[in-house]
Structures are given as structure tokens and as C-alpha cells.
Amino acid sequence: MKKTIQKYDVATVQYEPSQFQKDHNVDSLLNLCEEAANKGAKLIVTPEMGTTGYCFLNRQEISSLVETIPGPTTKKFQSITKRFNCYIVIGMPEIDEETQLYYNSAVLIGPNGIIGKHRKSHGYIAEPKWSAPGQEHLVFETEIGKIGILICMDIHFIETARLVALQDADIIIHISNWLSERTPAPYWISRAFENGCYLIESNRWGLERTVQFSGGSCIINPDGSIASVIDKGDGIAYAKIDLSWSRKKEVLAERVFNDRRPEMYLNLPTDPYLWNPLDFFGLYGLDPLPRGKESLISVVQMNSTNDVKKNLNKILSHLDDAKNNLSELVVFPELSLTGHLNKNKSALSSDSPEILKLAKYANKNDIYICCGFAEKNNKEFYNSSVLVGPEGILGVYRKVHLNKDDNSWATEGNEWKYFDTKIGRIGLMIGYDAIFPESARCLGLYGCDIILCSSAQKGVFTHGHKGTAVRQNYPIPTGADPNHWNHFRIRGGENNLYFVYSNISDQKNNYLGKSGIFGPDPFKFPREESLIHEEEDITFLKINTSNLDTNYPTNVVRDKFMMSMRHPHHYLPLVKHTQKKT
């Protein structure tokens, strides 16, 4: 193979295909690809099913449009890749000659022919009408870097992007027929961000069989920023790629792939939501889900000092505010009790007078409190959070993923913790844990209704949207939104649980807040959430973890429809233990 080209131009094509008019679509896409190649694009990406349209009723209806790979269509695009020495990704319906199965496929074509293809593995509601699911998540090594491909619904699942990222993908190519929200979609942004790689998104736009597609094709940088975007209409967006950025494999200045804990992810290949979760989690009469209820909960965003007494007094003052508003749960930031810059200098035991004082407050006021602190246990120190409630001290969670600051003083925790309360099943995470999509997924698979994440996270993990000209059905918003993407919102929706994120506010030291309570349904608008910006503050949200009086789940936090659509047999590489890099 030739030496890798580090810097080059890429292009994403946005196009509205005309259903059943394959020749017209192919000719239009050839023209758009040639235009991009003429302008110097080395890699050009086109939409999912761009050659045929998308909304097909059954195999018979699409049977005249499927073809083999390689075949007549790929041959036409290869003439461009050969002439311009470039690479093109085409989305098309494929037939497997041997089995006669149809697939929703994407093919990567280079100057010397077909490099590889991806068959959509996680189908949307439309695919089972005619298409079989694909079985592999491959990365293709080329002179322009290592390229992974996902198709539309694939990217809803944390596992698919992680599978290609673990194969050192520099670029995730995502082609789609995305709908029902403003784009660039938060899911797209988070998959680039949490894997520290580029994402090139080619989405169709327009209306087909009553379905409004969202456009928003874009190139997303490894830090989640948008390099280039098209809103509405046919067109091409361009950006420059620098592989040295994606090859750092950094998220918020941390080497996340060095810090993964595969031995902690061993439930990722399981599939509890194939079953009625009300039966599954109560099997043998053990570990049944709590009844749940409607509750008002709150999250506090605050700064902390190196003085434990001052921190405790501030925490108690916020608790009074929460109690006076009838909140039943309050979450405080990571290390907020002992000081987020204090490391282990003021470490406390889990039964220290300060912890017992919080437990007494919780018991007296019938409230749950989650608070972060540096824990001393014999000769070891942990970055921990404690959950106290009317019952007393429910338990302590020790941070599983340690960042650079933690590694200078703390020991890794080795157990996910969740607790059954009258509010619901509550899982605990701390700060850097939430950067790893595996963490919330593991807790979701344990049946958690709510995750409490006490955090001291530096850096930028949010940005806004200026609005879209693509019309959407009510109540899907189209206007400007300064909070369009918050990475930690994604943790709630992708696991169908409430994600309660409490971050330190200390702008001097780059702790920028952005705490919030995020709802469990990624397709619900207006969003079920309550946010804080950069300042010290408290915010509230009414949540509901209850179920109707039936033996079947009637609440999204219990049904977890996103979990039921996972394909865990693909996910074994996510738990493969490899020696940490230095």
C-alpha cells in the first residue's frame, strides 16, 4: 500500500432521490460526485439508498432495483474514482447472488476498484420489509486512512461506532435517511466525539411517501465541532481532514482507548430486553424492579473549595432549597464534598461524620442525596460517590474509569453499583465514566431507570444549532437552539433512562458546568429535560418511573425499546481484554 496521505479534502453529497427512478438518481449522483472530484475532494460520500429512494413496501417492490456489488452501478462510479484518483461511497440496495437475500448496503470504491462494503446491521422499521441484516463491522485500510462505514440506524447504538473505533478507524462514514429531528443530529456528533475520530455524514433530504427527511449532511471533527454542513436541498459540503488529529484518539484531552475497562463490560453481549423486563428482572423472585413513581428530582451545579466544612455547608444550603421545592432526590458534583482540586488531601471514610450528617439530613427530610467525595479506605484512596436516603447510607460507588488527574492519587473501582429505591432503580457513575458509552450501557442492561453522574469534567461537550429550513411535523422543533448538542443528553436517550448529570462550575479551571437532567426518550419533543448553563445553580425536573398495573412494561424506562433492538452477538470485540497502551 502507498504511504498514507495525512491531509486532504473530503466532500459529503446531499441529495433527494426520486423513488423508483434509478437511472435518473445514478446520473444525478455521478454529476455531483464528478463536481466534488473536480474541486479536489479525495473522499466523496453519498446518501443511504441514494440510487433508488428508501420507502419500499416489500421485496417485490424493490426487486427490479437491487443489484450485485460489484455491478453496473459500481462500475459507473469507479470510472470517476479511477479518473480523479479518489474514493467514493455509494448507498444502494444489494442482492446476494448466492442466497438471493437483499441488503441495504454501502460500498467504498477506490481508484483501483471496490475496496469493501458494509451491509446495514441494525435496521430501522423500514428495512425488515425487504432487507436482511448485515453481520460485520469492518474497517478498510486505504492510502487515505482507516475507514469504517455505518448506515443510518446503526449509529443509534453505541456498540457499532465503538466496534470500528477499536479497529483504529480514522473516519466513520455514516450514510443515512435520517428523520424526525434537526440535523446535524446529536447522535452523529456524539459518535465522533466519544471515539475521537472524524465522521462524514451524508443524509438525504425531501419528502417520500409521507416521510420527511432532515438533510443536514456534514463533516464532524473529532472534538464534535461541525467543520461543514448543508441544511436543505441538493448540494455538496467540503472540509479538510488531518489524520494526525483523529490518530491522537483523545476525548477532552484524555486517551480514552487506553483507559477502557473491558473486564467491566462483560454484560454488553447480553440481551435482557428480548424478554419482558418485569419478568426478567424478577426471575426466581430475585432482583425485581422497584415499582417506581412520579417524583421531582434536582441537580446542583456548584464550585467546591479545599475546605470540607465550607463545602458541606454549601451542600446543606442547596439541600434546603431542594427540600423547600419538594424535591425527592438531589445530585451534587464529583468530589464536591472534599474539593474537586484537593485530590485525596481531605479524604474521608464512608462513615465519616460528614457523610453521616448527610445521611441524617436525608432520613429527617425523606430525600435521597448523591454526593462525590475522596474516600479513604485503609491505605487506599478512591474517587467515590455516596448515595444516602431515608433508609440511611445505601452505598458507595468507586469510580471505574480514572482520568489523568485521578491516576495521581486514586485506585480504580471494580464494581458497578445500582440501588433499588422508591424512586426507581438508580445506578451511579462518576465524571470520566460518562465519556465511555459502555458505562451507561452496562447500567442500563442492569435495568436502571435513572443514572446519577457526579462529575468534575473539564472542557466543551455542548454546542448549539442555528435552525433549519427543513420543515418538520409538529412538535419537532426547527428554530435555533443553543443547547442542540449536549453529549451527556445522549446517555439518557440511547439507554432509555433518566440521566442526571451534576458538573462542577469553575470556569477559571475550565470546568464549564452544563449540568442537566435528561429524559429517556430520544424521539420526544419538546425534550424532557432541565438544564443549567455555566453558573452555580440548581434545577428540577418531574420524572416518572412507574408502570401501569399490568405485567407488561408501559414506561419507556422499563420497556427500553432502544435496548431491545441491539444485536449483542456482534459485540464480543468490546469485551476483549487488551493490554493498556502507555
pLDDT tens digits for range 217-256 = 999 999 999 999 999 999 999 999 999 999 999 999 999 9
Mean pLDDT score, 198-222: 97
The residue whose grid cell reads 479545599 is 306
CA 80 to chain centre: 35
| pLDDT recorded at residue 86 | 98
Residue at 255 is within a domain: no
Element (H, E) at 244: helix 243-246
Q: What is the CATH number of the domain that holds 397?
A: 3.60.110.10
120 in active site = yes
Mean pLDDT score, 565-572: 96
More confident of the two residues 347 and 3: 347
More confident of the two residues 522 and 541: 541
Mean pLDDT score, 514-525: 96
Active-site pick, 16, 48, 254, 354: 48
Same domain, 502 and 415: yes
Residue at 1 is within a domain: no
Q: Which of 249, 275, 306 is the last residue of a domain?
A: 249
525-546 pLDDT tens trace: 999 999 999 999 999 999 999 9
264-290 pLDDT tens trace: 999 999 999 999 999 999 999 999 999
Mean pLDDT score, 73-92: 98
Structural domain total, the chain: 2
Residue at 2 is within a domain: no
With 80 as the cut, is the pLDDT of residue 66 above it? yes
Same domain, 229 and 283: no
Residue at 259 is within a domain: no
Q: What is the DSSP letter of 134?
A: P
Same domain, 146 and 237: yes
**Which range among 323-337, 539-553, 567-581 shows the weakest confidence by mean pLDDT?**
567-581
Strands 450-455 and 425-430: parallel
Instruction: Tell me the C-alpha distance between 348 and 345, whole Å.
Output: 9
536 in active site = no
Q: Which of 226, 249, 272 is the last residue of a domain?
A: 249
Same domain, 245 and 270: no
Same domain, 234 and 281: no
SS3 labels along 333-393:
CCCCCCCCCCCCCCCECCCCHHHHHHHHHHHHHCCEEEEEEEEEECCEEEEEEEEEECCEE
Same domain, 406 and 323: yes
Same domain, 61 and 101: yes
Same domain, 270 and 241: no
More confident of the two residues 48 and 581: 48
Instruction: Tell me the C-alpha distance between 541 and 500, whole Å.
Output: 10
- Joined grid coordinates for residue 94: 444489494
Same domain, 155 and 98: yes
With 90 as the cut, is the pLDDT of residue 577 above it? no
| pLDDT recorded at residue 77 | 98
With 60 as the cut, is the pLDDT of residue 81 above it? yes
Residue at 256 is within a domain: no
48 in active site = yes
Identify the burial level of 301 via C-beta atoms within 10 angstroms of its C-beta, where 0-12 means exposed, 13-18 middle and 19 or more buried: buried
What's the pLDDT band for 578 if we cut at 50, 70, 90? low
Q: Which of 192, 221, 249 is the last residue of a domain?
A: 249
Q: What is the mean pLDDT of the chain?
A: 97
With 60 as the cut, is the pLDDT of residue 579 above it? no
**Which domain range does residue 48 map to?**
7-249
Same domain, 269 and 241: no
Same domain, 279 and 240: no
Active-site pick, 22, 42, 117, 120: 120
Active-site pick, 22, 42, 86, 152: 152
Share of the chain above pLDDT 90, in %: 98
What's the pLDDT band for 2 if we cut at 50, 70, 90? confident
Mean pLDDT score, 158-166: 98
Spatial CA neighbour of 449 closest among 546, 326, 366:
546
Same domain, 238 and 107: yes
Mean pLDDT score, 22-31: 98
Spatial CA neighbour of 244 closest among 229, 224, 222:
222
| pLDDT recorded at residue 582 | 45
